[in-house]
Chains A and B, each alone.
Chain A
Amino acid sequence: MRAVIRAYDALLYTMAFIAAVTLVWLMVSVVVSVLMRNLGMQPFAWLFTSAEYGILYMTMLGAPWLVREKGHVHIELVTAALPSALRRIVSRAVALACVAVSLILAWYGLDLFLTNIERNDFDVRAYYYPRWLLTITFPIAFSVMAIEFARFVFGPELMHSGEAGIHE
């Protein structure tokens, strides 16, 4: 079991690391393509395209890590006003709803990914890029997100602090 958890954590952080590298790549790709252009060369089209696709990869691969970091912004209005016992219940219920949303999207994301393969769909920009290479991020990212939200349903930690107290 411990090995499974370790492998899972490694997956989560690897995904986040790829997201971070992608962010830096955005800078590099723009700088290189502008320099090439101004030196009178034709910038490689993949510099531009990789930045566009990079945003999707970055967002999806990094999203589960951000759940763990409690970085997805939420508004503590009800949860801050409730007494602590009730707050725990509401907080876990909200996390459970997030699990449900993530699972639904993971499932239909898988469906979309398979449809893209079956229909041999391409995204047409500078290149004909197989669309499944984009949509494959959905089943992966939303599954891992579901697991991360589930930690706030069953784990010791709560998603909502309520600590901001009366402010929020």
Chain B
Amino acid sequence: EETITAVHAFPETLIYTQSFLSFVDKVNEAGEGVIQIEVRGGPEAIGMFQQPDAVRDGIVDMVYTPGSFYGGALPEKDALVASNLTAIETRENGGIDLIDQIHQERMGLKYLGWFDSGVCYNLWTRNEPSFDADGNLEVDGLRLRGNAVYNAFFTNYLEAQVIDLPTGEVYSALQNGVVDATGWTQIGLIDLKWNEFLNYRIEPCFFSTDLGVIVNLESWNGLSDEAKQILQDTAIQHEIDSVNALRGKRDEDFAALDAAGMQVVELEGEARANYLAAARETTWARMKELMEAEPQSVASYDDLIGKFYDPAADQ
């Protein structure tokens, strides 16, 4: 029996970690006598932002983390961030294989699977959002909390006043009005209790989560074919299962928020299309710029966009 070690980027109680741990359980069940995953812990075992380096250097064999945590080494992760597809479609169209190939060549990592996909981000505000004559969101006077992932969109397109804050400080910042709006995934607002202060959700949602399982390539190559097969099959199945599970969770969260008085405000028509296009294109622009700075390009920019963005899905 072979054993590989793993750590996860987020605390154990977070829903995304629970999803990963259920994947581990499935592997350990299917892999009895062949392959077992031994989870060493979360950010308390290896720092959140040090995990990508740790798996690259072989300190652990497997890490579950957002691609954005190693975006400096792999700008192509923005294809996932700006994607309007889930792991189910991109596994079929070869998108994930392409991402795997880029991971292998650029970082010496095996990209095993894109979990918990299909979850997107909303803007959440305290006060009722206002719109200009063309139906565009007005951001004047909005104190918007940002971070590295969405600032290209918030600052460059929305021209909003962005305040960078770590997640842990957002609660008190909302409480005393340092910020009155933030981006966040569809799921999780309740767990963070930010809904105590936020009253409006702006639709449509943009971006996608980019959580994936990465494995040290040497460790991966050292596994038996049978072990590899079990890991890969289970990961592909979990890509599908997690999309469905999180959709269920999102519906639950939205229902609970609705019941507690969360109002939904929708952008319409052209303003909506522009908003979505801007989120996507500012992110692509960032990716393109960084890819061009890289001497050896593994995959072409157009190829990536083609696999992770389907214009038809936006209709």
Direct contact between the two chains A and B in their complex (CB within 8 A): yes
Determine whether the beta carbon of A37 is less than 8 Å from that of B148.
Answer: no
Q: List 8 A-B contacts (CB under 8 A).
A: A37-B161, A37-B163, A41-B161, A45-B151, A122-B71, A124-B68, A125-B148, A126-B151
Q: Which residues in chain B, 25-75, are within 8 Å of chain A measured between CB atoms?
A: 68, 71-73
State the CA gap A123–B151 with chains docked (Å).
Answer: 15
Interface status of B304 (Cβ within 8 A of chain A): no
Determine whether the beta carbon of A124 is less than 8 Å from that of B163.
Answer: no
* CB-defined contacts of B277 to chain A, threshold 8 Å: none
Interface status of A121 (Cβ within 8 A of chain B): yes
Q: What 19 additional pairs, Cβ within 8 angstroms, besides A42-B162, A122-B73?
A: A37-B161, A37-B163, A40-B161, A42-B155, A43-B163, A45-B164, A48-B164, A121-B72, A122-B71, A122-B72, A123-B72, A124-B71, A124-B72, A125-B148, A125-B164, A126-B151, A128-B72, A128-B290, A131-B72
Number of A-B contacts (CB under 8 A): 33
State the CA gap A47–B16 with chains docked (Å).
Answer: 33
* Residue ranges of A at the interface with B (Cβ–Cβ < 8 Å): 37, 40-43, 45, 48, 119-126, 128, 131
* CB-defined contacts of A120 to chain B, threshold 8 Å: 73, 294
Determine whether the beta carbon of A126 is less than 8 Å from that of B164.
Answer: yes
Minimal Cβ-Cβ distance residue in A for B68? A124
Minimal Cβ-Cβ distance residue in A for B161? A42
State the CA gap A41–B294 with chains docked (Å).
Answer: 34
Minimal Cβ-Cβ distance residue in B for A128? B72
* CB-defined contacts of B73 to chain A, threshold 8 Å: 119-122
* CB-defined contacts of B164 to chain A, threshold 8 Å: 45, 48, 125-126
* CB-defined contacts of A121 to chain B, threshold 8 Å: 72-73
Q: Which residues in chain B, 174-191, are within 8 Å of chain A measured between CB atoms?
A: none
Q: How far is the CB of B179 from chain A (nearest CB, A)?
A: 10
State the CA gap A120–B68 with chains docked (Å).
Answer: 16
* CB-defined contacts of B163 to chain A, threshold 8 Å: 37, 43
Closest 4 CB pairs of A and B: A122-B72, A124-B72, A124-B71, A124-B148
* CB-defined contacts of A119 to chain B, threshold 8 Å: 73
* CB-defined contacts of A48 to chain B, threshold 8 Å: 164
* CB-defined contacts of A124 to chain B, threshold 8 Å: 68, 71-72, 148
Minimal Cβ-Cβ distance residue in A for B286? A128
Most buried by A among B71, B148, B155, B290: B148
* CB-defined contacts of B155 to chain A, threshold 8 Å: 42
* CB-defined contacts of B151 to chain A, threshold 8 Å: 45, 126
Minimal Cβ-Cβ distance residue in B for A129? B72
Q: How far is the CB of B146 from chain A (nearest CB, A)?
A: 9
State the CA gap A105–B72 with chains docked (Å).
Answer: 25
Q: How far is the CB of B76 from chain A (nearest CB, A)?
A: 14
State the CA gap A166–B118 with chains docked (Å).
Answer: 67
Determine whether the beta carbon of B161 is less than 8 Å from that of A126.
Answer: no
* CB-defined contacts of B161 to chain A, threshold 8 Å: 37, 40-42
Minimal Cβ-Cβ distance residue in B for A42? B161
Q: How far is the CB of B166 from chain A (nearest CB, A)?
A: 10
* CB-defined contacts of B162 to chain A, threshold 8 Å: 42
Minimal Cβ-Cβ distance residue in B for A47? B164
